[in-house]
Structures are given as structure tokens and as C-alpha cells.
Amino acid sequence: MLQKMISTIAGAGAIGLLGFCLSTPAMAQTAEPLRVRLDWTPWGVQAPFHLAQQKGWFKQAGLDVMLEDGNGSVTTVQIVGSGDSFEVGHAALASMMIARDKGLPVKAVAVFARQSDIGLLVPEGSGITGPAQLKGKKIAYTAGSLEAPFVDAFLAAGKLKRTDVELLNVDAASKATTYAVGRADAAFSTIPFFLPSVSKQRPSQAVRFADYGLNMPSFGLFASEAKLASKRDAISRFASVTAMAWEYIHAGHQDEAVDAIVAQRPQARLDKTVLRGQIDALKPYFGTGGRVGAMVPADWADAVKTLSSVGLIGTTRAANDYYVDGLATPEKFSALATKK
């Protein structure tokens, strides 16, 4: 009798194992398509996407992810929010907030860089440690970029006005070169993107807007309300795997992430040293405490205060109306990072 029971249990286990093995290819074949519009051409902030693609983490989460490079956060927000081409966008979330306040039905689903990464680049040894030392200096900036509305508030923190400096308006593509070759004394830009690339030619340091009361969430994921209604679970899985990938990268796998970006975008002729520098420069903006990707209400309250102070959004919308909480849960996919 005992032997018969053991045989029955063993047989059931074998059937269950067979069923699992048979279901795994079927799951791979029916992976849910997810189209993602990125913020820009390849750079360090996109490391988790390329790493997760390279390692097959998205596929293991039941997703067939298509990544498309972008040409700016504002454009990405508009395309994802107003069309049906993409389920998810990756962009500076302040741009998403501004668009939502103007009526575009988009919401954040994960935030990675919780602190504003916008600031001022200055040469090392210049003696410039804040806005007060900028009087008479030539500063490169881009009029249509996210930094532009904050220039006056930043200068005011040093008791300066626009008339106290010379603002040199250049397009985003040529700003790094303009500064690197010395045609400007300083430059406003996205610090983690800008600093590693220009420092090879002109060693520089950053002065952060966030240190002068101008803070707001930076890079993260967002989606339209329509896509959140129809693809909520897939979007959540994507956000969670991406957040997990960031945690994996920060745990000492930065070079692995760099290699993944280069492998996934071979035509871009990327500089591995610059990519590693960008990933390292981004880390301080992630903040401390809690899991990567999670919403922190106080951060969003600060963002409303910052953006409304320069007239980019109104003050009637509650801070928690700009995001959906609980979709980024990296702990659910942590086991993927331990698989060989």
C-alpha cells in the first residue's frame, strides 16, 4: 500500500513537472508586446532597459519589449500621451507633470531619479560654487529645454538677475561642444548626461538646482490613462523589472550594464567610459530609503511647489494626481537577477 502511494505521488509530481515544462515555451510564444519610447538616444540613464533585454528579464516576465530611442523628454511625453503607438514612456517626469496639468492624460508609474538632475556645469577651479559667483559670466543654455524656466529663480538665489549674466542660447545638440571648448564660462543642462562627456575635454563640476530649492522628480516611467486601463498589469511588470535592473546595476554591476547598452546599440559608437560615468553620476539622484521606482509623496509635493513657483503648472491639482502608486514592485522579480 505504501509503495503504491509513493508511486502515485511520484507520478503526479512528474505530470506536474511535465506540465510546467510544456507551459514555459507556450508562455514565451505568447509574451505580451509592450512598446516603449525612450527619452533620448542611448546614454547611461537607459542602462536598465538594455540590460534587462540582454539578460532576457523582460521575456521571463512575460513581456516582448520594443525600445525606441527618443529625441527629448517633451516629445516623448507628447507622443506617448496623445497616440496609440506606445504603452510606456521614459522621460523627465517634470515634463510629464507639465503636460498633465495642461490636459494630456498621462501619469507616472515609476520614478528612478527622485531628485532633479538639472543644474549648472562649471570648470573645476573656477571658484564658482553657486549662483552668487556668476555675475558677468557667459552661460550656455537652451531656451526650449526644461532648465530654461528655472534660470531666473536660480540666479535670484544668488541675488542676481538675467541682466547680470550673458545667456548664450544654443541648441541642445551643440551645447556640450560650446561649453567644452570654452566658448561659455558655464552651462545649464542635465548634469549626469553632460558632466561625464564634457569633463574629458574640460574637467568640470556641478551646481545642482535641487540644492537651491528647485527640486522635482527626474527620470522615470509614465503611461497614458488609456494604456493604464488596458495594459496595467504589463506596464506594472515592465516598471518592476526595470526598477529591479537598476538595483542590480547599483549593486556593483555597472560595467555589465555598460556592455549591455553597447551590445544593444552597436550602431551608436558609444564611449564606454562616458556611459559608466553617466551611470555613476546618476546614482546620487536616486535618493535613499525604500525600493527603486517607488513613489514618495513628499517628492511630488516638492515638485508641485517647484513647478508652480515658475508658472509651469497650477496649484489646484493634488500632488498624488500625477502618479499611480504601487505599480513598481522590484521585489517581485528579484529572483531573476540570481538566475544563471
Q: Give the C-alpha distances (Å, rounded to integers) separating 146 from 79, 95, 167, 227.
A: 17, 7, 15, 26
Domain with CATH 3.40.190.10 in the chain: 31-115+216-338, 118-212
Which tens digits make up the pLDDT trace of 97-121? 999 999 999 999 999 999 999 999 9
Distance of alpha carbon 97 from alpha carbon 154, whole angstroms:
20
Contacts of 221 (CB under 8 A, 6+ apart): 88, 89, 90, 108, 109, 110, 112, 235, 238, 239, 242, 328
pLDDT at 16 over 90: no
Which tens digits make up the pLDDT trace of 137-196? 999 999 988 899 999 999 999 999 999 999 999 998 899 999 999 999 999 999 999 999
Distance of alpha carbon 219 from alpha carbon 121, whole angstroms:
19
Dihedral Cα 137, 140, 146, 148, nearest 10 deg: 50
Q: Which CATH code is given to the segment(s) 31-115+216-338?
A: 3.40.190.10
At 18, is the pLDDT very low, low, confident or very high (cuts 50, 70, 90)?
Answer: very low
pLDDT at 7 over 50: no
pLDDT at 280 over 90: yes
Q: How many residues comprise the chain?
A: 340
Average pLDDT value for residue range 197-212: 95
Q: Which CATH class is domain 118-212?
A: alpha beta
pTM here?
0.89
